[in-house]
A = this chain, B = another copy of it.
Amino acid sequence: MSTTIRDVAQRAGVGQGTVSRVLNGSSQVSPATRERVERAISELNYRPNLIAQSFASGRTDAVAVIAPFITRPSVVERLRGIERVVTLRDYQFIVYNVETAERRSACLRDVPRRDRIDGLVVISLIPTEAERAHIHDSGVPYVLIDGHEPSGTSVGIDDIAGGRTATDYLLSLGHRRIAFIGDFLDDPLSVNFTSSRLREQGYRTALEQAGIAVRRDYVRHGRHDREVARIIGRELLQLPERPQAIFAASDTQALGVVLAARDLQLTIPDDVSLIGFDDVEIAEFCGLTTIRQPLLHSGIRGAELLFGLIEQPTCSQPHQCLPVELIVRGSTRAAPA
């Protein structure tokens, strides 16, 4: 068998409790004893059994993340931020990938358990009222990233303002006929929220403030997918009155529009201006004008908040709103005079 705390205690000539105290950095141990124990530990090359530690202490030293489509660039970037912080604290980083509605419910139901994890981060999936209550009942500290948790801790951006900024920029370039592509409204993964919807709201507000009526045929929705957006983009670009500019609620969808334009032999930005959202890595490569949100940083911040909660479960932080930024690249240009 593996060496246990008993072996160490024996070798050091102390009690198990003392070894445990040394292990956990208690200040209640005399330097001499500590020294003796530490020597025994290194002589025996002893490593405490993590499961046994968890079992006895009730902590798991693990943090879970529930995220939709972990392959999406925006999600990956956030995961990376979380992983960085979690690792720094020597916690395990457990990932749950969600690609269906069933899986979403299953995760939200089964993952929040004190005997499983010490904390939970949820990305881009807004729990229902019942799910939120369930998480709360589980007693697991919990942070939401990319969403707003009214009575909990969350980090996100002002999607409405982002949508407005994007639209205002297109307006400032002289465009009047501005179309919008956003996520499918009945996305089963996002029961009562999508950031896409808020960005659309910003779009609508901006147009209204500019005295431009929102045209039904200019506002389209589809699954968050490049190829779906490509089809929608083609439809928009083939409208009798072609939009001068398109605001896509994500870079992924904006890239679909790039393909649509290519399909129709139209040139961006000469024939149509295009702006995306997120500023994922490929956006720069493609010269896509977009609204940048701090993806990596949202993960870092979210994880930091979570550890705050783990250490101080009572003191819940308010919603954190991260800044967005307009990044102008080559996919937008002024409307011809």
Listed in ascending order, the chain A residues whose CB lies under 8 Å from chain B are 2, 47, 49-52, 54-55, 60, 62, 70-71, 73, 76-77, 79-80, 83-84, 87, 92-97, 113, 115-116, 226, 255, 258-259, 281-282, 285
Contact = CB atoms under 8 A, between A and B. Distances in A.
Contacts of A73: 71
Contact of A70 (B51, B76, B115, B255): B76
A93 B92 contact: no
B97 A83 contact: yes
Contacts of A258: 285
B95 A51 contact: no
B60 A70 contact: no
Contacts of A50: 113, 115-116
A70 B259 CA distance: 27
Contacts of A52: 55, 115
Contact of A77 (B71, B77, B80): B71
Number of copies of this protein chain within its complex: 2
14 contacts: A49-B115, A50-B116, A51-B55, A51-B116, A52-B115, A71-B77, A71-B281, A80-B97, A92-B94, A92-B116, A93-B94, A94-B94, A95-B95, A259-B285
A76 B83 contact: no
Contacts of A116: 50-51, 92
Q: Which 4 A-B pairs have the closest CB atoms?
A: A55-B55, A49-B115, A83-B97, A71-B76
A128 to B, nearest CB: 20
A249 B215 CA distance: 48
A80 B98 CA distance: 11
Given A92-B94, A94-B92, A96-B93, A115 B51 contact: yes
Nearest to A56: B55
Contact of A97 (B71, B87, B115, B281): B87
Max chain B C-beta neighbours (<10 A), residue from A52, A80, A97, A285: A285
Contacts of A94: 62, 92-95
A271 to B, nearest CB: 19
A84 to B, nearest CB: 8
B60 A83 contact: no
Contact of A285 (B47, B55, B226): B226
A261 to B, nearest CB: 13
A282 B84 CA distance: 26
